[in-house]
Amino acid sequence: MNRICFGMPTLLECPSVEDSASLCRELGLDFIELNQNLPDYQADSMNLLHIRNVLEQYSLFATLHLDENLNPFDFNGYAARAYLETALAAVRIARKLSCPVITMHLPRGVYFTLPDRKVYLYEIYEEQYLMRVLTFRDKMEEALKNSGITICIENTTWSELQQKTAAILLESPVFGLTFDTGHDYCSGGSAKDFFFSQASRLRHVHLHDSDGVNDHLPLGMGTLDIKRILGQVQAFHCRCVLEVKTVDGLKKSVDFLQKPGLFGENSISAD
């Protein structure tokens, strides 16, 4: 049975990379997911040499999570180009830090609220939208060629058009998938069939518990079958971020992972 490679997200309680690295090593985890929603991890403010030295000091590696607002498919050409440049800057960062994975969300874009429903403009103007998707795919393929880095699409909501978008991006070998357990559970399992039909492209998991309404709960504090999910993570050789939001939640999740028998006969812990 394969050992799972566990990591931690960037936490508000750990504002510096030193804080994150110290906690990550204390808990016996393997990597930190650097979150580019935060000001300290913007492309124009990251001290890459310092971050690399800290990671080496603690024998860790990093993955990268793109800004959740990133929308290279925007109909505004100026905005789309700015977002594309932001993604390309993230690729350069990932290369310098030897990050194996970059995770991104698929935006649903702007919607108009009609009397009886919401109408998403990407669905109405699908042809123009998909042209932007193809441009983004080709630019990322060029930028990531021969790098060993995969840019992974994470499920948030999972509409029919988002599934179509993911399928188009996955036509390129530089794209993969990040499966988020809590997002899927709270959306009624809308992404699961697609993601597991593409199991060979799964590279990354965001693991957190959920009660069906709230997600990002510490492991064991919701109603997800964590043992079953961990078996799938092992089978698909995925890295796994314990994507909770507090130090206390992270410690509780690591404690949960160390429960006897959780991984069957070949017991695996985070240390």
Question: pLDDT tens digits for 69-123?
Answer: 999 999 999 999 999 999 999 999 999 999 999 999 999 999 999 999 999 999 9
Largest CA-CA distance found in the chain, in angstroms, rounded: 58
Q: Tell me what the mean pLDDT of segment 163-183 comes to.
A: 96
| Among 30-39, 160-169, 255-264, the least confident range | 255-264
List the one residue out of 38, 48, 139 whose CA is nearest residue 87.
139
> Could you say which DSSP state residue 209 is in?
B
Give the model's pLDDT for residue 3.
81
The answer to whether residue 43 is domain-embedded is yes
Please give the share of the chain, as a percent, with pLDDT higher than 90: 82
Neighbours of 159 (CB within 10 A): 16
Q: What are phi and psi of 135, to 5 degrees?
A: -60, -45
Predicted confidence (pLDDT) at residue 65 exceeds the cutoff of 70: yes
Considering the domain boundaries, does residue 262 fall inside one? no
> Which residues lie below 8 Å from residue 268, measured CB to CB, with a gap of 6+?
1, 3, 4, 257
Note whether residue 268 is domain-resident: no
Radius of gyration of the chain (CA): 18
Confidence of residue 260 (pLDDT cuts 50, 70, 90): confident
Number of domains in the chain: 1
Instruction: Find the domain containing 115 and state its range.
Output: 5-257
Mean pLDDT of 244-261: 94
Residue 232 confidence (pLDDT) above 70 = yes
Distance CA 263, CA 99 (A): 27
Over 50: is that where the pLDDT of 270 sits? Answer: no
Mean pLDDT, to the nearest integer, of 42-55? 96
pLDDT at 264: 52
Per cent of the chain over pLDDT 70 is 96
pLDDT tens string 183-203: 888 888 888 889 889 999 999
Mean pLDDT, rounded, for 2-23: 94
Q: Is position 149 within any domain? A: yes
Q: Is the pLDDT of residue 234 over 90?
A: no
CATH value at residue 62? 3.20.20.150
pLDDT at 34 over 70: yes
For residue 230, count other CB atoms closer than 10 A to its CB. Answer: 20
207 neighbors 178 (Cβ within 8 angstroms): no
In a domain, 44, yes or no: yes
Distance of alpha carbon 172 from alpha carbon 168, whole angstroms: 8
| pLDDT for residue 2 is more than 50 | yes
In the structure encoding, which two tokens stand for residue 79, read together?
């905005």
Buried b (16+ CB within 10 A) or exposed e, 21-42: bebbeebebbbbbbbbeeeebe
Check pLDDT > 70 for residue 268. Answer: no
pLDDT at residue 271 greater than cutoff 60: no
pLDDT for the residue 157:
84
